[in-house]
Amino acid sequence: MVNKLIANMSLDESLIGININWTKYFPTVALIHRHLENVTEQLNGWVDNPLQQSPKLIHEINKTACEIKSNADVLVVIGIGGSYLGAKAVQDALTPYFGLQENGVEVLYVGHNLSGTYMKQLVNNLNNKEVYINVISKSGETMETMLAFRVLRNYMKDRYGNAHENRIIVTTDAKSGHLRKIADQNQYRTFAIPSNIGGRYSVLTPAGLLPIAAAGINIDQLLVGARDATIHFKEVQVERNMAYRYAVIRYELYKKGFQMELLACFEPSLAKLQEWWQQLFAESEGKEQKGLFPSSICYSTDLHSIGQFIQDGSPILFETMLHFNEVDMDYFLPIEGRDEDALNYLTYKSFNEINAVAKEGVTAAHADAGVPIIQIHLKKLDAYHLGFLLYFFMKACAMSAYLLKVNPFDQPGVEHYKIKTLELLINSVVYKS
Ligand code: PA5
């Protein structure tokens, strides 16, 4: 079945390989839906966030992005997990592979690893460039982020003296955390991440929007897409809500014994979007010994590496293929008189046309091998459709986690890692007398 529910997006369920009794899900989905739509001061802020964002805030973000673009060659974004993946995902998906986006500044990311080599090279790379910093952390306490911020704050002080204050923008909770305290004490400019929106659901808040706007992407269009999705996915009936259908299909496949979902894309610029999706689902669902392991694959690149396993290996996985139907740029195969490479049969074909045929080939081969395939089609890879898609995945993920009976909004495992690392670091300190 192909769900052609709206012009911009469709969900093709014809290759999922299972029959679902949708009626069975009506009451459960409706119950979870009502719970999600109940926005409180503590919970579910992301659900209506695209509809409720004040035009003043968006104006302020756009104005700050313009200032960065006028005064800087590079914006360094400091953050990890949900405090960087969304911005990087949108940036990579919508800016050129090579060179800078017209009307955008170079955006570099740090604080998402603990590599000294990365830090050293990043700092060296800033010399001779005008710099702005945007440090992003909901808790304002995350070790990786705070370590990188200390390094870069010192760098900015050394380089710009008192003027460094204008070049640091802090995105964090409105009231709590070290970062909020530092920002207030030093009068750094701030944007708030609403307290009822968690890290991996925060891409459409200032946490994602400021770096995205600075990269030269139209955040108004991104938000129009997200707003349309917010309204569209308020549909309570599972048969008419693609986000909920996707959640139920995943759940049914999980119950059938599948252990892993691969998000498959056909454009390498979507690698970070896949990572954002992975974090969203892994942190929301992977708890209490439950959940599908979310992984990703880029075609045709990975057909020459893990494609063999998908085709013939342990039957533990299913695929969700993400298609963008219209593309802006293409390249045609040049004609060659002598046909030395025996490729003349493809003359007049473009790379995207060949990619489309490869898609059909891989889909047919995997379906023949019994790999269930969910297919998501979007009209175009642009800001509007990406905004729509980000929201779709967040709504689907929350529904999916609740179907598993786990809390989509906590991350006890990550907190445990943070505590254990802190303990080890404290124990490793040698106090000098
Ligand atoms: O989704 C989450 O909550 C996490 O992945 C966080 O985004 C990540 O741990 C970073 O946290 P913070 O934004 O508090 O620095």
Q: Does residue 1 register a pLDDT over 80?
A: no
**Which helix or strand (DSSP H or E) is residue 351 part of?**
helix 351-368
Percentage of the chain modeled with pLDDT above 70: 97
**Å from CA of 32 to ligand 1 middle:** 24
Q: Quick one: pLDDT at residue 432?
A: 56
Encoded tokens for 288: 């209490």
**Annotation says 304 is catalytic:** yes
Quick one: average pLDDT of 139-146? 96
**Å from CA of 140 to ligand 1 middle:** 9
180 lines ligand 1 (CB under 6 A): no
- Which residue CA neighbors atom 9 of ligand 1 most closely? 81
Distance from C-alpha of 12 to C-alpha of 28, rounded to nearest angstrom: 23
284 lines ligand 1 (CB under 6 A): no
**Å from CA of 80 to ligand 1 middle:** 7
Quick one: average pLDDT of 50-75? 97
Nearest ligand 1 atom to the CA of 172 is 13
Q: Quick one: pLDDT at residue 4?
A: 45
Q: Quick one: pLDDT at residue 7?
A: 58
Quick one: average pLDDT of 405-431? 81
* CB-based contact 327:379 (threshold 8 Å): no
* CB-based contact 64:189 (threshold 8 Å): yes
**Å from CA of 19 to ligand 1 middle:** 37
pLDDT tier at 347 (50, 70, 90 boundaries)?
confident
pLDDT tier at 6 (50, 70, 90 boundaries)?
low
**Annotation says 366 is catalytic:** no
Distance from C-alpha of 119 to C-alpha of 108, rounded to nearest angstrom: 11
- Which residue CA neighbors atom 8 of ligand 1 most closely? 81
Nearest ligand 1 atom to the CA of 200 is 1
142 lines ligand 1 (CB under 6 A): yes
pTM over 0.85, yes/no? yes
**Annotation says 144 is catalytic:** no
Q: Quick one: pLDDT at residue 2?
A: 46
| Cα 215 to Cα 62, 118, 321, distances in angstroms | 11, 21, 27
pLDDT, tens digit (0-9, with 9 covering 90-100), for 235-268: 999 999 999 999 999 999 999 999 999 999 999 9
Nearest ligand 1 atom to the CA of 82 is 7
Quick one: average pLDDT of 334-359? 92
138 lines ligand 1 (CB under 6 A): yes
- Which residue CA neighbors atom 3 of ligand 1 most closely? 199
**Which helix or strand (DSSP H or E) is residue 368 part of?**
helix 351-368
Nearest ligand 1 atom to the CA of 201 is 1
> Which amino acid would we find at residue 13?
E
Catalytic residue among 252, 267, 283, 285: 283
* CB-based contact 392:229 (threshold 8 Å): yes
Domains located in the chain, CATH noted:
2-37+234-409 (3.40.50.10490), 45-220 (3.40.50.10490)
411 lines ligand 1 (CB under 6 A): yes
* CB-based contact 76:185 (threshold 8 Å): no
Catalytic residue among 304, 360, 405, 432: 304
**Å from CA of 350 to ligand 1 middle:** 42
Arithmetic mean of pLDDT over the chain: 94
pLDDT, tens digit (0-9, with 9 covering 90-100), for 69-102: 999 999 999 999 999 999 999 999 999 999 888 8
**Å from CA of 376 to ligand 1 middle:** 28
- Which residue CA neighbors atom 12 of ligand 1 most closely? 137
The angle subtended at Cα 202 by Cα 199 and Cα 206, nearest 5°, is 120
> Which amino acid would we find at residue 421?
T
Q: Quick one: pLDDT at residue 429?
A: 74
137 lines ligand 1 (CB under 6 A): yes
Q: Quick one: pLDDT at residue 412?
A: 82
User: Which stretches within 38-54 are classed as H helix?
Assistant: 45-52
pLDDT tier at 3 (50, 70, 90 boundaries)?
very low
b/e 92-124 (16+ beta carbons within 10 angstroms → b): bbbbeeeeebeebbbbebbbbeeeeeebeebee
Q: Quick one: pLDDT at residue 415?
A: 76
pLDDT, tens digit (0-9, with 9 covering 90-100), for 168-224: 999 999 999 999 999 999 999 999 999 999 999 999 999 999 999 999 999 999 999
Radius of gyration of the chain (CA): 23
Encoded tokens for 264: 């498959």
Q: Does residue 112 register a pLDDT over 90?
A: yes
**Å from CA of 353 to ligand 1 middle:** 40
Phi, psi (degrees; rounded to nearest 5) at 180: -60, -40
Q: Which residues contact 112 (CB under 8 A, 6 or more apart)?
A: 79, 80, 81, 84, 144
Pocket-testing residue among 77, 83, 397, ligand 1, by greatest number of atoms within 8 A of Cβ: 83
Distance from C-alpha of 242 to C-alpha of 238, rounded to nearest angstrom: 7
